[in-house]
Structure 1
Amino acid sequence: MRDPAMGEPRKRMTRMRYDVGPMGFLSDQIIKEMQRAGYPAREFNLYRSPEKQDQMFTRGVSNARRFQSSHQYYGASDLIHEKWAWFDKSQAGVPDGRYFWDRLWDCVEVVGEKYKVEFSNRISWDSAHVQLENWRDFSEVVGAREPNQMQLDWYFQITLPAVWKQHQRSKERVA
């Protein structure tokens, strides 16, 4: 029996992001793996402003206040289904998302092994949330403010050194 959450993505992932820290690139890789597995995934949230984080905390949809969340440091991404997002059962016709979330986390594991990075464990109440294990180390360097481009590039370079090196070489060839 075919999982109803499977399907073709609206657009195949072809370009990778190098300018939003390592998690942007890794999210793109996870989405590509999901597409290969037959599931249309997309990124809902990579960066979240401190104000938005406080609003989410106040509404009770996040356990973290401003600068306590990996999203303020581009260290996490929320990856959801293109059509059914979080598979909200209060909406009519939404299928069971369990297989989608299981495949997502299989793909997280594949990408982690491929790029030799550690992701935090799956959160039972927020399966869409994928975060780098080392985001707190980066947050200590940055402090309680949005990271600038130089800091994001440094974070990328120390988390994914081989990818960063190859990206720099390809930029030199183009220039």
Structure 2
Amino acid sequence: MSLENAILVGVFDGFTWIRCVGKGSFVTSPVMKECAENRIAAGERCLVIDLQACTGMDSTFMGQLASFSARLSKLGATGGVQIAGAGERNRNSLEDLGLDCLLEIDPPAALWRGHANEVRGLLEPYLLGRPPACWTGPSTCWNRTRSSPPRMRRMPASLRVSSESSKKR
């Protein structure tokens, strides 16, 4: 997959950010699926799908978004799947298929609201079968010994949440 069509990710305290660059299609869907499934298996309950740089979506890609929402709903997740930066074209595509009933499109009270550009600057490419270095290895970006959600090492202070405030969500 080229950088023209890529999936970029970041793990933050309270959510995982997945950014689609280029067309969201059957080409990028397996990468996004693996990334989301790994994060859900690790306990993540809020996925933010960033469509700001997404030039369009096919049915495979939108089907993946619906499947993430269904899976998180079955797990009783309160965050679910949130869409950031949908834009008019992508919003219309999601609404035409009724996915706006399953996904939160640009939710006004989202934890990341007002910090999207900051978050986008911290993302790393996700390659099929090879999660970003910050997910594994000795220089891990998150502390696996704590029960709270992972925090990126370079996470902006404005996005950090205390364990007390994350319990209230």
Question: Could you tell me the TM-score, scaled by structure 2's length?
Answer: 0.30
Hey, which of these two has a bigger chunk of helix by percent? 1
Hey, which of these two has a bigger chunk of strand by percent? 2
